[in-house]
Amino acid sequence: MRDFVIAWDTDGVLLSGDSKSQATGERKLRPHAKEIIQDLEGKGITNYVWSRAGKSNAEDAAGRVGLSRSRCFAKPEWSTPFDAEGMSQPPDLVIDDNDGESVLAYLNIVVPAFNGEEDDHILLDIFPQILDYINAKAESRLLNLLKRLSESLHASAIS
């Protein structure tokens, strides 16, 4: 069974995306981002970080949450089929602050843009929703696998 993949946007989701923090280069990591991503990694979930501004922009956020540069990508253009260069598979879930960049083919969780607020708790708020989706997707994949196995066994018995 393939891995479950979450793609996290950089600016406004993992790092503060307001014009002041971008201009000064003092971008803050969203509260709870590192703990949540590390928890998901511990559960076997693959987390990618991408950015419309390019791979190097995503690398800053990835380093702060404990992910390697190999998990960073330039956010693909959604007008074409999935095309994130170097990404082994499309994400199952996209966390973004811009609903306009959502892709209907993937479940998207749209969060308010993070502008450096110390008391931000949105990632804690959406964590149960992320886990619910992962569990439902895993159950669906397991049922599909069992169905294919049953069909294969049935076909073998008939032959």
Express each pLDDT in 39-97 by its tens digit: 999 999 999 998 888 899 999 999 999 999 989 988 876 655 555 666 777 888 889 98
Q: What is the pTM of this model?
A: 0.81
pLDDT tens for each residue of 9-48: 999 999 998 666 666 778 899 999 999 999 999 999 999 9
Radius of gyration of the chain (CA): 18
What angle do the packed helices 33-42 and 122-158 form, to 10 degrees?
Answer: 20
Q: What is the pLDDT of residue 153?
A: 80
Domain 5-158 fold is Rossmann fold (3.40.50)
Of the candidates 89, 55, 86, 59, the residue with the CA atom closest to the CA atom of residue 73: 55
**CA 33/CA 38 separation, integer angstroms:** 8
pLDDT tens for each residue of 123-138: 999 999 999 988 888 7
99 phi-psi bin (left φ>0, alpha ψ -120 to 50, beta other): alpha
Which two three-digit tokens encode residue 83?
């095309």
Q: What is the pLDDT of residue 101?
A: 57
Q: Number of helices and strands (H, E) in the chain?
A: 4, 5
Is the pLDDT assigned to residue 106 strictly greater than 70? no
Contact 84, 74 (CB under 8 A): yes
**Residue, of 98 and 101, whose pLDDT is higher:** 98
Is the pLDDT assigned to residue 1 strictly greater than 50? no
Domain boundaries, the chain: 5-158
